[in-house]
Amino acid sequence: MNQQKNKPLAQNRKARYDYTIDDTIEAGLVLTGTEIKSIRRGSANIADAYARVYKGEMYVYNMHIAPYEEGNRYNTDPLRTRKLLLHRKEIDRLYGILKDPGTAVIPLKLYIKNGVCKMLLGIATGKKKHDKRQAIKEKQVKRDMARAIKSYNQ
């Protein structure tokens, strides 16, 4: 079977700019048939999404999955709350981490693994404005160094 390994169907590129990612966790998603078809088409957006523990279970909020065109009455609300599949120990650990102010669980990537839709969650702490500026400066310095090395080698 020729399958690409964990090719992201949706990605939250701004998460690493706005947050410092401390740890990552892989979670499954509870989806309907038309939602998974829409995700496979690449019609998902996780840019504004976040995850929370509610009544002892983990849910993802504000994840937008566009309605499947051929789905007619089986389509669901694009912004509905979706349950994440995690082990009890992982949920309890995340619940303890989320009690700290300034900490959030942010979806980083949505992908298909062994025929099942998975989401990579990042345990994140928010960056301050000066931290973001510092990250931009470091990125620019790395880019300049790479250019200098490339021009030197030619």
pLDDT tens digits, one per residue of 128-138:
777 778 878 88
pLDDT tens digits, one per residue of 43-99:
888 888 888 888 988 999 998 888 877 767 767 777 888 889 999 998 989 888 888
How, if at all, do strands 103-113 and 8-11 pair?
A: antiparallel
pLDDT of residue 1: 41
**Between 128 and 28, residue with greater pLDDT:** 28
Helix/strand/coil for 114? coil
pLDDT of residue 31: 84
pLDDT of residue 89: 92
pTM of the model: 0.75
* DSSP of 93-135: HHHHHHTSTTEEEEEEEEEEETTEEEEEEEEEEEPPHHHHHHH
- Domain ranges within the chain, ordered by starting residue: 9-126
pLDDT of residue 104: 86
pLDDT of residue 2: 46
State which fold the 9-126 domain adopts.
Small Protein B; Chain: A; (2.40.280)
pLDDT of residue 136: 81
pLDDT tens digits, one per residue of 3-23:
556 678 888 888 887 888 888
